[in-house]
């Protein structure tokens, strides 16, 4: 190493941070230059690896986010609209329609029972004919459209009482006339049509033969 003197003749010894040392050509300190280059290369390599890890992590998070969003907004397929886990719980109603006149399935309900509670269509809904249940689920056919009640599993509930029926019974010739009402005897007059009075026990009534009207009585009766 060269010995340097200042203007007063004193010796100068460069320290580790001396600007004199910094100004020396790198060729005179090959071990320092190589060490510096090695540290720089290692730093660049580590920085590149960290950036790669961050990029992969961000990609995975983005893919997971997009998959969750797509799954949350995707509509259920028609055949799964009332699959177990998607369908209504017991005690709620399901609307099932055969709008095109063909058989349509409205869901599988496992051991739960289904009961028709309200017919909406003009076409009849008759169990076993235009609606029913098979291994594929609840189905309707030939224009049947109705609301069905989902009942919890176990023994099926007793059938509901038949809906009331409205019939017209007339004594057009002034004589007593009987109208068939089957075994039902809960009969009430709901609307008089004739000019002649319809008075229960006088011009209309019920006996073993059924509903009768007499002396020109003509009216509508509700039968339960």
| Mean pLDDT, residues 216-222 | 94
Quote the pLDDT of residue 36. 56
Kindly report, residue by residue over 185-213, the tens digit of the pLDDT: 889 999 999 999 999 999 999 998 889 99
pLDDT of 14 strictly over 90: no
| Mean pLDDT, residues 58-69 | 71
Closest CA relative to residue 110, chosen from 131, 82, 77, 91: 82
In the sheet that holds 187-192, the strands lie side by side as 165-170, 218-223, 187-192
E runs forming strands in 123-164: 131-134, 137-140, 145-151
pTM of the full structure:
0.32
Kindly report, residue by residue over 132-180, the tens digit of the pLDDT: 988 888 999 999 999 998 876 655 556 666 778 899 999 988 999 999 8
- CA distances (Å), 127 to each of 119, 148, 222, in order? 12, 12, 25
Domain boundaries, the chain: 26-72, 80-151, 165-223
């Amino acid at each position: 190493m060269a010995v340097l003197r200042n203007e007063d003749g004193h010796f100068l010894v460069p320290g580790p941070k001396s600007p004199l040392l910094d100004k020396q050509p790198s060729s005179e300190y090959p071990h320092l230059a190589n060490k510096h280059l090695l540290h720089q290369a290692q730093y660049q390599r580590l920085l590149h690896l960290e950036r790669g890890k961050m990029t992969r992590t961000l990609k995975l998070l983005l893919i997971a986010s997009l998959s969750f969003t797509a799954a949350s907004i995707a509509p259920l397929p028609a055949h799964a609209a009332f699959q177990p886990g998607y369908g209504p719980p017991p005690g709620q109603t399901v609307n099932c329609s055969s709008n095109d006149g063909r058989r349509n399935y409205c869901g599988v309900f496992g051991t739960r029972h289904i009961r028709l509670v309200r017919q909406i269509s003009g076409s009849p809904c008759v169990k076993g004919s235009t609606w029913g249940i098979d291994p594929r689920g609840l189905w309707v056919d030939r224009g049947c459209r109705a609301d069905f009640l989902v009942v919890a599993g176990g023994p099926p509930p007793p059938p509901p009482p038949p809906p009331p029926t409205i019939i017209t019974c007339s004594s057009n010739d002034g004589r007593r006339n009987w109208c068939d009402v089957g075994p039902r005897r809960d009969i009430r007059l709901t609307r008089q049509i004739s000019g002649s009075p319809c008075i229960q026990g006088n011009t209309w009534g019920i006996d073993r033969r059924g509903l009768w009207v007499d002396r020109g009585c003509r009216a509508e009766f509700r039968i339960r």
